[in-house]
Structure 1
């Protein structure tokens, strides 16, 4: 029965996105919701100027509708489902505001970093309050071991760091056609397997819904992209995958399964520290995917390579949790 539910879930979310996109993309184009490309980015990206953005709205709609329909058919939506949707929609709304300011108000930097951080922290604190009242564990375990650390009330700080950190990490990774769509689908697919393994079926349904939505979006987001997800999609996906890991009590395992996002973020941190301390850059450009573009790799080669690395990380994460 569950296998059928998961199959119907991924098919439904895929079809909702695929059928919605041909209607939504021209609508975004008519509203002139086109992406502005930063001048300091790779020059090859300038031709992408004007490509419709805010495509993350399609992903969010697909995930929300599919999750509610399929959890409603299988079981009553649980607190886990509502927490997942709350964080996903909350971070998605933050991303939407950021995109709206960039695209409609023509302020290329969008929300200020302080405004975005404040919104992310508020959403994280609300999440923690409900999380704590629902008697979820505040211990953090380590993959492949019996080790765990009970954080108690300090878990709120960890939770804020995880949600903010991974939402921004996915946002940083979203710089090439299909990069986040592919790596995100792989990472959520891994967590869907792990959720199923511990009988957290609602979390598995949500994760599979995200996989289907991302694969459907990839039809239009693969190079050359007809639409970008924007911060609407990337911030929502980052918050969602961190929430999935938190609910499954696999927080640290997210570092492995989401290894591509972690590496991309570290490349930015290393670049900034190196330049501020020595005046020299470690990479030709950060995040790391831009470095490989400037080395001479085609955009498609970079994306497929990162997908492959993401798949290896996902298999490693499942192996550590299930077989060790």
Structure 2
């Protein structure tokens, strides 16, 4: 537990003091986000590359506190690839297919180094179902999918950093009570990096994390969730990371459905995300972000409760979550696929 607290504090400090340097670097190399379309909420040019500070917080803390074995080498190599690709994209723009290929390569690296979904807890037979060779494509799909879900919610000041920190803290708690101390340390190092960056990124933002940060956060969350939550002994272990990352997963899933129904490419950006819809209800950026924080916290607490529950209790919690989400959707009319309603 001491190492976990140190990880959170140390990473926070490194990220906090590195962010001003990232701002200077962004200005020096021209990594500036200029609002050039109606989808962007900000009105003035804002430097990007804040993800470098988050990465440094995580990387330096991990090197100091965690034994470097083959799995850790794979995680750090994959993270370095993701961050390097993000830096290039934040300065020059990379084609979506190229970014996807880079994410797949990063996922393959950690799989080769031994991080993969090998089994899932089967609550119906009260045992474990081994995946065999299927574990490899399932792992790659999970990592690439979650990497992109975090990237897609990075649309308001402080949103991706705050939601990622909540998710990381949630999964770290599950990892700790499951005896996965290393996963807990790494997740709190990630949370510390995101929280150290947040004072500069919360509305009005002085810097954006860019793809450098959002892709990195999603990548690390997805990779370490495999060791820290999916492999736990909980009756519905697979539900834990899905709930902890529920907000970006839900938003991305609906974005895919919405774009398919509107006959648009899945990778094409639009203004139909949850944060856009809440803004259209008349909420401010800060109000919208705080509401989405609250939703993430609610889902995170549900994930923690499920980790310590019997099958009946876990199903009951999931049912209550579904009712809560459905009521919120109907009440706020957040799931219209008509894009004219969210312009």
Please classify the TM superposition score into its range, dividing by the shorter chain length. 0.7 to 0.9
Aligned counterparts of 2:36 and 2:127: Cα–Cα separation in 1: 45
Q: Which residue of 1 aligns with 2:251?
A: 264
Aligned counterparts of 1:60 and 1:304: Cα–Cα separation in 2: 24
Q: Which residue of 2 aligns with 1:69?
A: 64
In the superposition, the TM-score normalised over structure 2's length comes to 0.81
Q: Which residue of 2 aligns with 1:90?
A: 81
| Matching residue within 172, 178, 189 for 1:209 | 189
Aligned counterparts of 1:236 and 1:216: Cα–Cα separation in 2: 15
Question: What's the offset of the Cα at 1:78?
Answer: 3.5
1:1-324 matched pairs, under 5 angstroms? 3-41=1-39, 45-48=41-44, 50-71=45-66, 76-101=67-92, 110-131=93-114, 138-141=118-121, 146=126, 148-248=128-228, 250=230, 251-276=238-263, 285-324=271-310
Aligned counterparts of 1:228 and 1:316: Cα–Cα separation in 2: 30
Superposition RMSD in Å: 2.2
Aligned counterparts of 2:94 and 2:58: Cα–Cα separation in 1: 25
Question: What's the offset of the Cα at 1:225?
Answer: 0.5
Q: Which has the higher contact order (CA 8 A, sep 6+)?
A: 1
More moved, 26-35 vs 253-262: 26-35
| C-alpha contact (below 8 Å) 1:80/1:202 kept by paired residues | no
More moved, 198-207 vs 20-29: 20-29
More moved, 263-272 vs 311-320: 263-272
Question: What's the offset of the Cα at 1:294?
Answer: 2.0
Gaps of 5+ in 1: 102-109, 278-283
Aligned counterparts of 1:56 and 1:18: Cα–Cα separation in 2: 12
Question: What's the offset of the Cα at 1:185?
Answer: 0.5
| C-alpha contact (below 8 Å) 1:268/1:288 kept by paired residues | no
| C-alpha contact (below 8 Å) 1:87/1:236 kept by paired residues | no
SS of corresponding position for 1:248 = helix
SS of corresponding position for 2:263 = helix
Question: What's the offset of the Cα at 1:147?
Answer: 5.5
Aligned counterparts of 1:290 and 1:300: Cα–Cα separation in 2: 13
Aligned counterparts of 1:145 and 1:215: Cα–Cα separation in 2: 41
Aligned counterparts of 1:145 and 1:258: Cα–Cα separation in 2: 26
| C-alpha contact (below 8 Å) 2:174/2:229 kept by paired residues | no
Q: Deviations over 1:169-208 (max 9, x none)?
A: 0000111000011110010001111111122212111111
Aligned counterparts of 2:159 and 2:94: Cα–Cα separation in 1: 23
SS of corresponding position for 2:208 = coil
Question: What's the offset of the Cα at 1:148?
Answer: 4.3
Gaps of 5+ in 2: 231-237, 265-269, 311-343
Aligned counterparts of 2:208 and 2:124: Cα–Cα separation in 1: 37
Q: Deviations over 1:105-139 (max 9, x none)?
A: xxxxx22222111111122222222217xxx6611
Q: Deviations over 1:213-254 (max 9, x none)?
A: 111100100000001000011111111111011123515422
The total of aligned residue pairs comes to: 298
Aligned counterparts of 2:127 and 2:288: Cα–Cα separation in 1: 37
In the superposition, the TM-score normalised over structure 1's length comes to 0.85
Q: Which residue of 2 aligns with 1:104?
A: none
